[in-house]
Structure 1
């Protein structure tokens, strides 16, 4: 018995989706051999957890049949330690939470979306200080530790009055490859999950829309880039304020089975094809 061939349109889409990932791997020294073995592990993991027959765990033979991975490799990979989950590392989650508080809650912001510069020490700024901000999220970590890390990552800066300024309106490190890689993992994973859900199920689709043009001048692209940076960020800040308000109510109500969400926005440009001539033959 042979499995039906996958749709040609899907294979074409997968080749295109993989190109930027392969580009990243080659730039960072990830060889085909290493990636191939890692990919085997992912095939085995997904088959073992999501392609069960009822409550019964699939056998090595069944996983081998489904995935095409040799049974000896299936056994080896199933015995290996599982990879960590897709959630952001604790330090980044704490940082994102602090940025959300800073941008949305008085006295740390002038109004939602307009964070204030904060005196570094509580002895100077009291309840409107960076010390007080960190205390809102954790009593177990010193504000100076957070600040030093944010200074390293380019998220915050200190002025001559010893006030802390937020350098970005979302917690996206400007420096630090490991931290950027964590957000790459989180954002691309969740975007791909939404797209796969929409492509493979009849359930209510996740919102996933984009606009695209292919004959814009560099000047027009810059105009659009600036508009996305301003208006797109404002939209995300509005969603952030709504999510923070809803989360506070949900925590007070002690809701069961809490869920996580990701709301994203992106902009990309690259050279396009030459536009077709207008008004007749070239």
Structure 2
């Protein structure tokens, strides 16, 4: 079983689960994803995760999984015979994020405030350029191919001096694209993973904090949103620059070397509140 402390009792989870699932269910309904399809997905994941919770492979019997999940043994046998899921990290997303991170974080490609500098397409060796930016990350894709794709997507534009200018709107993937859905899954997974570990009593606790107000006048709510966006931009740029500086010049770790994955994210959400009913 997992080495995390015991979670709260199952009945106590029902109300918070109902609340956190509502936005996801709303998205699925609007996207036309029906209940039978979603139920089959969840059923398979339930069995898969339950199997992962059992430390010994020999103990992962259909009977034990049926007892843990409430899924019938015949259904468990069918689900366990299905092929494993393919990796869900699109290479284009990885390349895009690496290039934007370096453009925003390396002193050669950004100013002191972390704003991306306009980049000439090519330059002398050692000088910043779009070609140098791409070539430092990959040799498998030509810089011109990346530039043409980003121009078509609106990620960059060319200024009067024929320099590539990173568009601020490009920091967030466009709605419905492969990149946005990738980050949608990864960021929500990591936030839930941190939150559930904290609920189960993980030590040390993962970072999970928020500044929240109810009943704000619209003008103050808008000002709080603007303050939050500006503060988050500064924080992410600063952390990105510090990590890139630490990694600069470090060789690739040998195969088999232990590594860790870190995802630092924040969110901001606002909505209109339902006015309370007046009591007569």
TM-score, length of structure 1 as denominator length: 0.86
Could you say which residue in structure 2 is the equivalent of 1:78? Answer: 80
Q: 1:41 & 1:275 partners in 2: Cα distance?
A: 42
Could you say which residue in structure 1 is the equivalent of 2:241? Answer: 241
Q: Within the alignment, does 1:131 sit opposite 2:131 as a pair?
A: yes
Count, aligned residues: 272
User: Relative contact order: is structure 1 or structure 2 higher (C-alpha 8 Å, sep ≥ 6)?
Assistant: 2
Gaps of 5+ in 1: none
1:16 to 7, 10, 19: 19
Q: Say if 1:232 and 1:265, in contact at 8 Å, map to a contact too.
A: yes
Q: 1:249 & 1:44 partners in 2: Cα distance?
A: 44
Q: 1:151 & 1:217 partners in 2: Cα distance?
A: 41
Deviates more, 1:236-245 or 1:12-21: 236-245
Q: What displacement does 1:7 show?
A: 3.8
Post-superposition, which runs of at least 4 consecutive aligned residues in structure 1 deviate over 4 A? 123-126, 249-255
Q: What displacement does 1:61 show?
A: 1.5
Post-superposition CA distance 1:186-230 (Å, at most 9, x none): 111111110011111342110100111111122112111211111
Compared CA separation, residues 124 and 269, structure 1 to 2 (3 A):
same
Q: 1:249 & 1:209 partners in 2: Cα distance?
A: 34
Compared CA separation, residues 189 and 263, structure 1 to 2 (3 A):
same
Q: What displacement does 1:6 show?
A: 4.2
Post-superposition CA distance 1:10-61 (Å, at most 9, x none): 1000000100000010111110000000001110110111223x35350112
For 1:100-139, list aligned pairs within 5 A.
100-111=101-112, 113-119=114-120, 121-122=121-122, 127-139=127-139
Gaps of 5+ in 2: 1-7
For 1:11-160, list aligned pairs within 5 A.
11-52=14-55, 54-85=56-87, 88-111=89-112, 113-119=114-120, 121-122=121-122, 127-160=127-160
Post-superposition CA distance 1:141-193 (Å, at most 9, x none): 11122223333443322223321111138742135522211110111111111
Q: Say if 1:48 and 1:58, in contact at 8 Å, map to a contact too.
A: yes
Compared CA separation, residues 154 and 70, structure 1 to 2 (3 A):
farther
Q: Say if 1:105 and 1:112, in contact at 8 Å, map to a contact too.
A: no
For 1:186-265, list aligned pairs within 5 A.
186-248=186-248, 251=251, 256-265=257-266
